[in-house]
């Protein structure tokens, strides 16, 4: 059978999963939040999942959301958006019931070549954008295609602004997405699917493509996340002492080279963002990791039940912890959950880690939540549930294969050989009974 014929047969095996993968490049497009590709994929994922009602986590989510809203209404002057808070609560509960449930589609027939092909396509688009940007040509998606069409962080908006004011622009490629870090998030999901559905050589190819895409887009989230997922998947095959020594050596050498200035000027110019990250001056890392970590203590001490997500920014501005009209430190979904539910967020995250299965699947869930400040939006819910469903079947299949290989089946009993008298010998004497 030809490659095209085998792909056509594989497509019929699980049409939902393969269609989901093919729609990933346009997941951020739509007329509004509820009429969008992300909402469509969320509905498909919810329909193709057998939900399992889990009373304890679901009740804890409602208690945490109610306590946060009540504390805000009684103690704080900030006004949350009740409709958005209701949507966040329902999304959180859906995450529990879907992760504890089972897929209704044929996950055992998912072909990882679709995910690998989509990764290669995104890499090619990223490479074309990168080469075009070097020549001053903007090949970014139009602003009107995105759900958040008024977002001033879109690449097309920056290019239009630069052309209107007559100055040069330098933007990182993001393929068909709004920002490079979201490209890193989608690449991470596709890489994760490839690790659980492909054989060894194609897994290495997917890993190389994921790193190359992240490097071209200069998304350090994508680079670090893909390295962590690949390392976690192969942790049992790599000696831990080798990983520890190599990691310490690479980190020490990088810090020493950046601090002592032994790198050439051209290399330093290309690794300018890496230098800003190490020195703590990178804005993206600051609003995703450093600043949220410093603000967490303020919330846990003065708002133990948390501040609703829709009122967090006004709360920080009122306490002069952030500056208005600038990028707020709310671009990390994990910290946003801690801000929203206070101390109750810690047991919720532990229960969510267990619902995801822990290990590499729990790591994937936390990384995807930390990519931006919307951990409970339609796109993240659909991506998390879809990826973990397929990974669970891949882990079960590999564990079953390993168990079958290690089982020692009982040997068949040796046949007994009886002496047969030779032709020239007299027959054996049989005693009379």
In this predicted structure, what is the pLDDT of residue 266? 44
The DSSP symbol for 30 reads: B
Instruction: Note whether residue 153 is domain-resident.
Output: no
| Choice among 97-111, 129-143, 267-281 with the minimum mean pLDDT | 267-281
Mean pLDDT of 275-302: 73
**Together in a domain, 344 and 393:** yes
Segment 24-67, tens digit of pLDDT: 999 999 999 999 999 999 999 999 999 999 999 999 999 999 99
Instruction: Note whether residue 188 is domain-resident.
Output: no
Instruction: Note whether residue 161 is domain-resident.
Output: no
- Looking at 1-101, list the stretches that DSSP marks H as alpha helix, in order from N- to C-terminal side: 3-13, 15-22, 37-47, 55-74, 82-100
Residue environment code for 246-272, b if the CB has 16+ CB neighbours within 10 A, otherwise e = eeeeeeeeeeeebeeeeeeeeeeeebe
Instruction: Note whether residue 226 is domain-resident.
Output: no
As for how many domains the chain has, the answer is 2
**Together in a domain, 290 and 358:** yes
Give the percent of the chain with pLDDT over 70: 73
**Together in a domain, 319 and 384:** yes
The domain boundary residue, chosen from 229, 248, 281: 281
Domain interval for residue 276: 239-281
**Together in a domain, 302 and 347:** yes
Quote the tokens at residue 364: 């994937």
In this predicted structure, what is the pLDDT of residue 330? 80
**Together in a domain, 74 and 92:** yes
**Together in a domain, 270 and 288:** no
**Together in a domain, 290 and 395:** yes
CB burial class (10 A; 0-12, 13-18, 19+) of residue 409? exposed
State how far Cα 287 lies from the chain centre. 19
For residue 121, pLDDT over 80 is answered with yes
Instruction: Note whether residue 134 is domain-resident.
Output: no
pTM of this prediction?
0.83
Instruction: Note whether residue 352 is domain-resident.
Output: yes
**Together in a domain, 310 and 394:** yes
**Together in a domain, 277 and 293:** no
In this predicted structure, what is the pLDDT of residue 78? 87
**Together in a domain, 296 and 394:** yes
Segment 171-202, tens digit of pLDDT: 788 889 988 899 999 999 999 999 999 988 89
How many other CB atoms are found less than 10 A from the CB of residue 101?
A: 18
Q: Is the dihedral of CA 254, 257, 261, 263 positive or negative?
A: negative
Mean model confidence pLDDT for the chain: 81
- CA–CA gap between residue 146 and residue 64 (Å, rounded): 32
């Amino acid at each position: 059978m030809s490659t095209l014929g085998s792909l056509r047969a594989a497509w019929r095996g699980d049409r939902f999963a393969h269609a989901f993968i093919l729609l990933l490049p346009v997941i951020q497009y739509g007329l509004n939040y509820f009429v969008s590709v992300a909402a469509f994929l969320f509905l498909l994922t919810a329909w193709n999942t057998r939900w399992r009602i889990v009373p304890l986590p679901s009740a804890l989510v409602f208690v945490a959301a109610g306590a946060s809203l009540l504390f805000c209404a009684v103690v704080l002057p900030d006004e949350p958006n009740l409709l958005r808070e209701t949507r966040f609560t329902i999304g959180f509960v859906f995450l529990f019931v879907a992760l504890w449930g089972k897929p209704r589609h044929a996950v055992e027939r998912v072909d990882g070549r679709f995910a690998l092909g989509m990764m290669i396509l995104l890499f090619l688009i990223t490479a074309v954008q990168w080469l075009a940007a070097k020549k001053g040509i903007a090949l970014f998606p139009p602003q009107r295609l995105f759900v958040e069409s008024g977002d001033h962080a879109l690449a097309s908006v920056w290019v239009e602004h630069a052309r209107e004011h007559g100055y040069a622009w330098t933007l990182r490629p993001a393929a068909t997405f709004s920002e490079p870090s979201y490209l890193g998030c989608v690449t991470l999901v596709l890489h994760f699917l490839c690790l659980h559905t492909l054989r060894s050589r194609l897994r290495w190819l997917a890993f190389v493509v994921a790193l190359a895409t992240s490097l071209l887009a200069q998304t350090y989230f994508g680079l670090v996340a893909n390295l962590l997922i690949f390392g976690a998947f192969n942790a049992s095959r790599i000696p831990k002492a080798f990983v520890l020594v190599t990691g310490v050596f690479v980190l020490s050498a990088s810090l020493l080279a950046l601090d002592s200035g032994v790198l050439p000027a051209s290399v330093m110019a290309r690794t300018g963002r890496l230098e800003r990250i190490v020195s703590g001056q990178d804005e993206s890392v600051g609003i995703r990791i450093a600043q949220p970590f410093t603000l967490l203590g303020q919330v846990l001490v003065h708002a133990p039940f948390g501040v609703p997500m829709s009122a967090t920014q006004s709360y920080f501005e009122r306490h002069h912890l952030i500056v208005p009209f600038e990028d707020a430190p709310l671009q990390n979904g994990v910290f946003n959950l801690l801000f929203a539910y206070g101390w109750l967020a810690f047991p919720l995250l532990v229960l969510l880690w267990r619902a995801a299965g822990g290990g590499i699947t729990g790591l994937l869930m936390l990384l995807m939540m930390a990519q931006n400040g919307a951990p409970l939006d339609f796109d993240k819910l659909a991506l998390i549930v879809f990826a973990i469903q397929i990974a669970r079947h891949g882990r079960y299949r590999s564990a079953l294969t390993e168990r079958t290989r290690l089982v020692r089946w009982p040997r068949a009993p040796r046949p007994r050989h009886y002496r047969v008298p030779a032709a020239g010998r007299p027959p054996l004497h049989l005693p009379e009974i």
